[in-house]
Each structure stands twice: as C-alpha cells, then as structure tokens.
Amino acid sequence: MIGRIAGVILHRAPDHVLIDVRGVGYIVHVNERTAAALPPVGQAAALYTELLVREDLLQLFGFSSLLEKEWHRLLTSVQGIGAKVSLAILGTLGPEGLGRAIALGDWAAVRKSPGVGPKLAQRVVLELKDKAPGIIAMGGVLTVDAGAGGGVEVATGPGIEPAPAAAATPAAPPAVT
C-alpha cells in the first residue's frame, strides 16, 4: 500500500497534516508528538504511513519513524485498539516509552493515554509482552560520534549496558587528511 509519503506541508492541525505530493493533497492523521516535530507549513516533510482501508473509508496514518509505525501495527493487533487509540498511546508515551511500559508491565503508563481505560491498558501490556521484544530491539540504534575520541553511543535496551556494547564495537579507521 502506501508506506511512505514525502511532499510539502500545506496545512497543519494537532491531529492531521495535509501534504501536497506533486499536486495531490493527502490528509495524513498523526499524533500530537509527530505533528509538533514536523516542519512549518510550506516546508518539505516525509512520514512513514499506514493505510487503513474500510468499505466506506480510506485513511492514512503517519509516523515519524519506522519504529513508531511498527508499534502502531502491533498495537492495532490488540482487541479494542483501533488506529486512533494507537495514535493516542504513541502520542502520550512515544515508541521508547511504550516499549519501556510493556517491558516493565507498567499498564498504568499506558492508562494515561486518552481513550484507554484500565482493562484496555492491562490487555495491551499482557498481549504485547511476548510480541514486543523484536520491536523493542529495533529501538537500539548504533551511531558513531565524529567528535573527540570517535566514541560510540548506544541506545540501550533491557539488559544492555553502554560500556560492553562500545567495547564490542570495532574502532573506526583513522581519518585520512
């Protein structure tokens, strides 16, 4: 379907943006966190998208990263979680916060999202506990710091410490000048 969209922002609202792609305007529903991170009207932007197809409706939902999109797909697999509630959860917690809440069994954090009651929050944590480790691992991003020392930054996950990860990473070759 439509996995990514890139174009110029024509209109912004707290829950959606209108993006012009070569003369065609697409309404893309986003959470407040994603909307706030987008550039102003008139600037180019790109979003990863998920297309919801119903008998009477086609809706695009936009995400700032593939990680956020994967969390959305996993959330909507839980009974009682539709696209809008998924956006609310991701807008409240973000991908990293959601991963942390599920890993720790913290359904109260999920409960803080608009439209999520205690039973639904518990269901999210219980159903995703076994499915989430693969997506939580996607959140670990390795970057090489070009600054002093050529250090390594690692976004750690449960049971991963920065020092061992840095020690296991080979040193970058010296710069040629």
Quickly state the pLDDT bin for 130 (edges 50, 70, 90): confident
| Cβ-contact 123, 74 below 8 angstroms | no
**Residues 20 and 83 occupy one common structural domain:** no
Number of domains in the chain: 2
- Asked if residue 111 is part of any domain, the answer here is yes
Q: 22: which 2 tokens?
A: 């070569």
Write down the pLDDT at residue 165: 43
Say whether both 27 and 12 belong to one domain: yes
Domain hosting residue 77, numbered range: 66-137
- Claim to verify: residue 50 and residue 72 sit in the same structural domain: no
160 lies in a domain?
Answer: no
Co-location of 56 and 75 in the same domain: no
Q: Are residues 70 and 54 in the same domain?
A: no
Pick the more confident residue, 163 or 4. Answer: 4
Report the Cα–Cα distance between both ends of the chain, in Å, rounded.
Answer: 46
pLDDT at 133: 75
Whether residue 73 sits in one domain with residue 55: no
Q: Tell whether the model's pLDDT for residue 157 goes beyond 80.
A: no
pTM, to two decimals: 0.71
Asked if residue 97 is part of any domain, the answer here is: yes
49 shares its domain with 22: yes
Q: Looking at the domain assignment, is residue 44 inside a domain? A: yes
Question: What would the pLDDT profile of 41-98 be if each residue is shown by its tens digit?
Answer: 999 999 999 999 999 999 999 999 999 999 999 999 999 999 999 999 999 999 999 9
Which alpha helices (DSSP H) does the chain contain, by range? 32-37, 66-75, 83-104, 107-111, 118-128, 133-138, 162-168
